[in-house]
Structures are given as C-alpha cells and as structure tokens.
Structure 1
Amino acid sequence: MHGSALVVGGGIAGLAVARGLLAAGWAVEVREREAGPPDSGTALGMWPQAMAALARVGVADAVRARSVHEPGGALLRPDGRPLARVGAGARLISRPALHEVLLDGMPSGTVVWGAGVTAPADLRDPDVDVVVGADGIRSAVRGHAFPGAPAPRPLGTVAFRGTLPGLSPGALPGTADAVTETWGRGRLFGITPQHPDAVNWFACVRRELLAGAPPDEGPAALLGRLYRGWHPAVAAVVGRLDDRRVDRRELLEVPRLPSYVAGRNVLVGDAAHAMAPNLGRGACEALLDAAALVEALVAGGTVADGLRRYDRARRGPSRRVAHGSRLMNRVSTATTAAPARDRLLSLVSRVAAPAVAAGGRGERGRGERSPAGRDAA
C-alpha cells in the first residue's frame, strides 16, 4: 500500500518512520519544532534489536561505522567493588550522530524545521492518510487526537547527564570496564564511552535527596556533594563537571494507553510510551516502533488495517519494557534495603555469569540476539 504521511516530530522515531515510508514509495513530510537537528547529546545504546530495526530502514551499516561496540560492563558499589557483570554487547552512538545517519540522503524539504504542530487544525489536512505522532513525551498529537489520554507522571527521580570532551574512557582510574554503573542509596552514577576522546556520564537521584539544596547551588556542586567519597572513576568525572554542560530534568513516564491508534493518528516512541531510562531502551523501542509501523502500513490493505497491525505488534511489548524500566528505576535508586538489594544482585550475578558467558555472542549484525544485561547508556 502507498499513501501520504505527516510525521510530527523529527527525532529518532520520526526520522526512522520517514526513511522507511519514503523507501516504500510514500509521500512524507516531517514537521519538527526545533530549528535544526541536535548538535550535542549523550550516547545511546543500540541493542541488537535496535540494530535489526535500523537494518529494516536501511541504515544499520552507517550506524556501525559511526558507533563503538562495547561487549558489556559492570555494576559497582560506591567504593568500586563489583556488584555484577552486565550486558552481552551493544553499540554506542551519540544522539547527533544517529540523527545525521537518519537524515543522510533524505530528499531535501522532507523535514521542515521550526514548524511544530500546536493546534488541532494542524492535524486536519484532508490530503494526508496518516498522522504519526513522534513528538515526544508532551506529544501534541496525543493531546489533540487522544482525548482523555493521561498526562505524563513523575517517577520520583531526577536525571543529570552530559559529556566530557577531552577525557579518554581508558584514562579513568579504578576500573577496567569502559561501561560502569554505580549504585548507592537513592542514587546511581553511570559512565560510558562517547568516542575515544570523550566520556558520557549520567546520574539518577531520588527527588527527596535534593530537598533542602541551597537555591544557588549549581549542578556541578550539587553532584559533587551527592557523590562525595565514591570510587575514583566517579570522582574523576564529577570533579570535571561544568554547570553549562549539565542537563538536568525530572524523569516522567507516559501511563499505559489503551491504544496507540486513534482514527488515522498513530503514536510512536516517547509519545506512545515514554519510560524511565534505567533499562536504556528508549531509543531502541522508538526504532522498533518505527520499523513495525512502516512494515504494517506497507503490508496492510488499508491504512486502518495497517494501523491495527502496528498496534497489535507494539503495544504489548513496549508496555512490558516500560514496566521493567519503572521497576529498575525504583530498585537502582532504592533508599531502603539497599544492602539486601546489593547482596541479592551479587548472588544472582555469580549464578548467572557462567550461562551468560557460554551463551553470549555479542553484536553480529542483522541476526543479533537479545543481550543478557542492561544498556549501559
């Protein structure tokens, strides 16, 4: 089936949908409220499922060329002692690089920058067969086309993240792993490579631990206080932070929706299922949505049939990942029973490690298997 699509949002999900539909012969316009693609951003983990989805929209090889492969990483205690080994391989790529790959070769004028959708009238073009809401957690498409949809709700945690140029991942002291995530009481701190000369870092903190902070305390000082005394790799990163390069935001999720489809309107990515970042699956799920939507619309006899196929294919799996992400957000930043959590995690890791070592095959291209652990980014 061929048709025309208005894609609202020029992020990862929207651009992947546009590429796939254009390749299938559809007419596509992407409207993005930002003035242009991002020129900064932290690393994203491309799990094997994400790489398979990227292959389905024709850019997996380009992503491999712009990314680094990490075979796994370590969960650590604040003093640097290991809690667990995680992961069986993911590719790490910066957000700007992934946008560049998705935009490369797209016909000029497909993406209209600085043209966000703000009113219901913007969604009523009679010449458009499908309206794709790829416009994030505060989706205008969801707000206009899905009356009664619940508003995003807080998870009770605040995220800080950024990159440190000029710092080689291999130069960090205290750990042999390029990818680490350190769990303490009510907070965690993660470090991954961005590229050979930059480090990507992220922190997640229970909101109550931020209460009472001096109003003039900048994020670098705040994080320095919260992570004082943690192992040398964390100290090395925190000690180099610059307030101007720290992104801070309260973490939210989109509650379960009864459907991702309303008439000719369909939601993908964060617009459909924004989730906690603690499984590192947000970008992956967005790409899986995009590939599934393209295939469903191309295979469907009608637009309605294609959208039903997509909804059946993606609502259940994405809900399960969102639930797991929410649970990991709570567990990894627990303020009570943290010692018991750590002992259990260490025990499970020791029991599972031989099976993971025997079965893990890493990143192998289009036929990649699901990883055993969590995304490092």
Structure 2
Amino acid sequence: MSIGQGAGTPAPVRDGIPLGRIAGVPVYLAYSWFIIAALIVVFFGPLVGRSFPFLGAGAYAVALGYAILLLVSVLIHELAHALTAKAYRWPTAKIVLTLWGGHTQFGQVRSTPGPSLLVALAGPAANFLLAGAGWLLLLAAPLPPVAVLLTEILIWANLLVAIFNILPGLPLDGGRIVESAVWKATGSQDRGTVAAGYAGRIIALALAAAVILPPYLRQESPDLQVVLLTAVVSGFLWMGAGASISNARVRLRLPSISAAALMTPAVSVPAASPVAVARELLAGRPGTALVITAPTGQPWAIADQDALAQVPEQLAMSTQIDAVARPLGPGAYVPAAAAGSELVDYLAKLQGSEYAVIDRDGGVVGLLTQAAVLNAIAAKPNRPRSS
C-alpha cells in the first residue's frame, strides 16, 4: 500500500481489469489479486465452516465476502491517498489494487515535505476510520453471528494494516515520516528517500527477528507457516526499500551528469571532404572522434576510424569521408551545457546510441554515447569505444 510517481498516461492492459473511475482517477484490479482471494477462500472457508456448521458450502461464500471487504478497505486506503493528492493539485495517474494491497501512482510532482507526508498518511488514517466505523457498527445494533464475525475481522484487519503502514520506513506509507524529516533538514527529497529506504530495511530485519528469534531463545521450533509468511513480508519490505534507495541514488547523481563532462572530444568535417583531409585533421589528436556534417552544417554521421585507416593511401584524396561513416539518428545532437534529468529525458526521445555535442555557436565539440550516460547514472566507470 504505497504511493509512487510515474507518467500520467493511460494504464496498459498489464495493470489488470479496469474498474472505472472514482473522482476522475482510473482504478484497476490486478490479476494477482485473484491469487490472494483464492488463498483467503481456501484457508478461511474451513474455519468459518467449523464455527458455523449450518452454513455448509456457504462458508466459502462468507470467506469470499471477507476477501471482497479487504479489497474495499484497500480501495478506500488508496482513494484517501488520491483524494488528498488532488487537494494539493497532484496529477493522479491511476490506482492499482494488487496482490500486496495496492498502490496509487502519480504524474510528475513538485511538492514540499508537508504535503508529501499528509498524502502518505491519508491511507493509514482511512484504515483507522474504517476500523472505528466497524466498532461503532457492532455497538449500534445486534448483528447476525456471521455479520459479527466479518465485522470483527474487518476491524482487526484495518487496524493491523494501518499500524503496519505507519511504521517509519519505505516502502510503507510511514516511510514518508523519515523522508519528510530528512528532506526538511537537508532540502533534498532524494536524501530523505535514501534514509527512509534504510529505515525500511531495518524494519524488515526487525520484523524477521521478532518472529523467528523468540522461539529459538525458548528452545522451541518456530511455526513453519508463520516463518514463511514473515519471510515473504520481510522480503517484500527489503526489496521495496532497496528499490527506493536505488531510484533515489540515481536521481541524486543526475545533477552531476552533463554532456560536456561525459563527451569524447570531437572535430568535424563536411560530408564531401576527402579521407586525406580527415586523416590530417585527426593527426596528433589521439582519442578524438570525427563528426561529419551535412551541407546544412548539422551533425550527420560519425566517421568509423577503423574503416578510415583501411582506405589505401592512393585513394585517400578521391574517397569522400562519408564512405566510412555511420549515420547519426535524426536530430542526434545536444548542447554541451545540457545536464541532469533534462539531458536524460531528451536523449531518451532520440534514436541511436551516439550524439554529437555542440557549443553555443552550433560547432561540434564532442561525441556523447548512450553507454557513457548510462554508466554515469549507474556510477560505473565509462569505457570509451573506438570511433
């Protein structure tokens, strides 16, 4: 049960079954939900049957009703996120109800610590309200035994979901408490996300230790089903926290990524130039790329220097440089000053994996490769390729 950011485009089929829109927000039921619903029916049905023998096979219908009530609780949780976000004019892309509960995805958001925290905590607050409503229902009037059972389970389920979700670590909603505190102190949301991610990993380890260690300390064998459930939940928390840390670290590296810093130096020649001129231009410039320009002056291709070296000397003046060229993609040139997310977003729209770098006057000063940018994002050393 988390919130995330993403493009505000219509959800693809893989998001699941469209359930319509609520307050303008598309809602999808992930196919994985049917797995958890089936498990609830299989395991909860016999328990209901033993408590209410007169139900017969209807006990499984009651178990299915419990699964649907949980689904409604998750939907209300996610709607609380979405509606609070809409109050702050956040673009809300969709709600997806999944195997693990659900998530609300937003478009590009520029926020501050306060609103971010309120949007995150709106979900657990909705679960507390649902638990309170169930408790008031039990007090208001006598209910049939089956209705009492479902209401009590709904109360406890919502209390557990709310309490679990306010634990201060990502990917739980309460992780925004840590994120917002560090964000407020440092001015960086991404540093807050990293801190909240590590807090989430601590929670995952603490949860596993709290369930598994006490039986061993008492020299008892822990319940296998409890161990497996704990392993699944702790693993989910650990992976979600790790994803948050990795994504935030990438965003922290983006401001230091620029075309000027990552490019290979380059010189340019017109497409009609002979190979001999290109060789003379590159002489004494080891490691320099050669960009070929079109008659319009725009970068058009890259000279393959291995092929350039193989042109016989007697043909060097009669062979044009475009004979040993590999074309650039349409518009594959960027300003040397381009940097950060603006550079990455722009390159993502271009074809090919090589881009000419130009100065303010439009002159070619370098060659940028997709590999160099990706390595910088992943903080890996760049291995220059031969041009």
Q: In which range does the TM-score fall when normalised by the shorter chain? A: under 0.3
- Please give the TM-score of this superposition, normalised by the length of structure 2: 0.26
Relative to the length of structure 1, the TM-score reads 0.26
More strand by share: 1
Which structure has more relative contact order (CA 8 Å, sep 6+)? It is 1
Larger Rg computed on CA atoms? 2
Q: Structure 1 or 2: larger helix share?
A: 2
